[in-house]
Amino acid sequence: MDAAKEEFLRDFGEHYGYPNGPKSVDQIRATEFKRLQLQDLVYLDHAGATLYSDLQMESVFNDLTTNLYANPHSQSDSSSATLDIVKNARQQVLDYCNASPKEYKCIFTSGATAALKLVGEAFPWSCNSSFMYTMENHNSVLGIREYALGQGAAAIAVDIEGELHPEISGETITTKISPHQVQRRKVAGSLKEEPTGDVYNLFAFPSECNFSGLRFDLDLVKIIKEDSSKILGISSVCHGQWMVLIDAAKGCATMPPDLSKYPADFVAISFYKLFGYPTGLGALIVRNDAAKLLKKTYFSGGTVSASIADIDFIKRREGIEELFEDGTVSFLSIVSIRHGFKILNSLTVSAISRHIASLALYTRKMLLAMRHGNGSSVCILYGHHNSMKLCHEMGPIISFNLKRPDGSWYGYREVEKLASLSGIQLRTGCFCNPGACAKYLGLSHLDLISNTEAGHVCWDDLDIINGKPVGAVRISFGYMSTYEDVKKFVDFVASSFMSPQIHIDHGNQMKGLDKGFVDTGYYLKSITIYPIKSCGGFSASSWPLSNNGLTHDREWILKSLTGEILTQKKVPEMGFISTFIDLSQGMLFVESPRCEERLQIRLESDVYGVIEEIELYGQRYEVYSYDNETNSWFSEAIGKTCSLLRYSSFDQDFMLNKIKGAATCRDPKNKLNFANEAQFLLVSEESVSDLNRRLSSDVQKGIYGKVMQVSASRFRPNLVVSGGRPYAEDGWRYIRIGNKYFSSLGGCNRCQIINLTINAGQVQKSNEPLATLASYRRGKILFGILLKHVSIDGEQQKGDFWLHVGQDVHPD
């Protein structure tokens, strides 16, 4: 055992690893999560979904293959037995939250989101009602606002703060609620009036924030329900009865709310966040008196005692569960949750909480201690981490961003990309929690709106805008997480992002180059055209230019049956397809080892199908379609039903309006076919050689222990230049090739697609060359530059409109 683990166990050994449990955490990992070891993975996204165990799934499989379960709405013996198990499952859920069946019922839903939606759509809103919610809330809670505002109710976001007060007997903490502006909509017939009947209001908060890990004091339930007039401080929303909703989807895994102490009206639960399986199943725990106030409109099979088809007559069932569970419940999934609860109960929730807390506390301590060589902090944590004394308020989530020695930010997408290459699975972004994201990152309304207008959307690659991060990195722990997981993660952060040098190195892209390179003249080494997006290209000694780049480059795309534009990221088999264009014949030739015949497509043909519209990269295109025979050929080639489309034109005004001011390389004023970002991608032969030198070093080895070498074609460039120093192209603003001028739009941000190779008809994936690039191409993992064709002084250049291999290349 190394010294670091010995120190960890001295501090946390009392709580770490289930010392009094039936199995230690090391035994659990070795026997029930072998897949993590086999794939050499560290899984740190338990807040997104925790992992199911081998033992749990074996029990589920044996259960389903041994017993006969049937629709519980039927009257057969097997149906009755299934109904009994469903009833027992409801009781298990209530027991988990210490809820008495005399006071609460368990309604099964398709997930925690469906449980929250049920409350929103059935709540007795009126124009005098209020929906109040903490800033730290998932979008699934914020969505309830639409129901409230739609009925003329007010909606108010609030911040919850604790204030310290010195007392004779010691310090006491009181809760302070700070409201944001009141939101209302003008709804016909819902002008605010003096209340004439009962008014019901809803207060919603998470038991644990899925962004920061902050755990909310459950005393909020009693405060809101019993003493709301003193604490809310908004006279216009203080009247009426307050009801409380807890989103426990995340918090339930380690600290389920004790409803005997904190009598919330509604609690939403997600089972895959408790024990990994089943997905698509959640529950709403609801107080009986609160359930009676909910207004159900829709009825379905199982929710009515009687109905008549041709007149307006229904008799609804009186049971709360029966009334709100539309149709047949997911009874096989419900049968399976007892095997998940068995795992949790064997370890006990309190032991799980202590085990996970020890890992989270240790990780926070290690991250906060990291310093660059100049003494500046590497890691900025979000939540109440300023004092370690406050960490008991934190759950097993750690949300953070990383800084360079000069104070600028590393992008969270870079962190995610490098973590994935190191076998570490984590999550980045805002985690569907916009309020917490804005609060902790200091993003104003103006920032958020301008970021959206700049084209930023969830899950994109825009992680830094105007010098500010627009999301964060999140890691989270589960009951099977280990010290070794933490160590690998902490070592990854230290080795990848902590700079020991005292001098400031702002992601120097030239780092590590040998001295002695001599700048020589540049020339165009090769030209490559890729007619069909994400398929193979072909080289040409000369090729004409068009308004959109190289003529016919990425002029065709493949579209799936669902309308998705296909690329090698999702369909690697597209790399099997080779293409060639013979301009003299006016023909595109396409081949695939999976197809016996070579496909021929005429470039100038009026035999197209109907023109349709598609949207890609925020740009609307008109495209031509092809006949069934052509589409069948491509479907066979990639093993997936698809259709071929050809570029016709695009709506430039739509593009400009949609991404005006976009912080992206994609130039809205420039005409493009179906290229991701620019008309041309240029790669330097010398830069490829330098990469290969690094790949050949003793440290960097490819798969199977063999030295890996890559060609320029691995990066799918249109233009390869030769001459000069490696990476000199990074600093080019303009270049001239022959008598044609080009403007640089910046570097090309690389992803794992460059790790795919095709050998002997098989797609193979490794960590290279991206892992090596990531070791020295810091900031973003850039390789090659994006270009657009420009005219001088607004006029078209004279001469032929061709590029020729061998032409001189003149930077700037």
Cis peptide before 278, with omega less than 30 degrees from 0?
Answer: yes
Helix (H) or strand (E) holding 763: strand 762-765
Active-site positions? Answer: 432
Q: How many other C-beta atoms can be found within 10 angstroms of the C-beta atom of residue 465?
A: 18
Retrieve residue 386's tokens: 């300023």
Sheet holding 282-287, edge to edge: 104-109, 282-287, 266-270, 241-247, 200-206, 130-134, 154-167, 170-183
Q: List the beta bridge partners of residue 241.
A: 200
* CA 772 to mean position of chain CA atoms: 25
Helices (H) and strands (E) in the chain, counts: 22, 38
Check whether the bond before 469 is cis (ω within 30° of 0): no
Residues 509, 778: Cα–Cα separation, whole Å: 6
Buried residues in 563-601 as b, exposed as e (16+ CB within 10 A): eebbbbeebbbbbbbbbbbeeeeeebbbbbeebeeebeb
Say if CB 285 and CB 269 are below 8 A apart.
yes
Assess contact for 650 and 554: CB atoms under 8 A.
no
Tally Cβ neighbours within 10 Å of residue 811: 15
Write the single-letter amino acid at 698.
D
Q: Provide CB contacts within 8 A for 217, sequence distance 6+.
A: 160, 162, 175
Contact status, residue 257 vs residue 217, Cβ threshold 8 Å:
no
Cite the DSSP H helix spans in 97-178. 112-122, 139-142, 144-150
C-alpha to C-alpha distance for 744 and 684, rounded to whole angstroms: 14
CB 677 within 8 A of CB 664: yes
Please, what is the end-to-end C-alpha distance for the chain in angstroms? 58
> Which residues, at least 6 apart from 613, have a Cβ–Cβ distance to it below 8 Å?
620, 621, 622, 623
- Enter the tokens of residue 697: 């070093």
Please list, in sequence order, all residues whose beta carbon lies within 8 angstroms of the beta carbon of residue 61, skipping any fewer than 6 positions away: none
Q: Based on the number of CB atoms within 10 Å of its own CB, is 426 exposed (0-12), middle (13-18) or buried (19 or more)?
A: buried
Q: Are 252 and 274 a contacting pair, CB within 8 Å? A: yes
Closest alpha carbon to 463 in 490, 437, 496: 437
Q: Please state whether 800 falls in left (phi above 0), alpha (psi between -120 and 50) or beta.
A: beta
Q: Is 355:18 a contact under the CB 8 Å cutoff?
A: yes
C-beta separation of 488 from 776 below 8 A = no
Angstrom distance (rounded) from CA 381 to CA 441: 10
d(CA 716, CA 728): 19
Separation CA 57–CA 723 (nearest Å)? 59
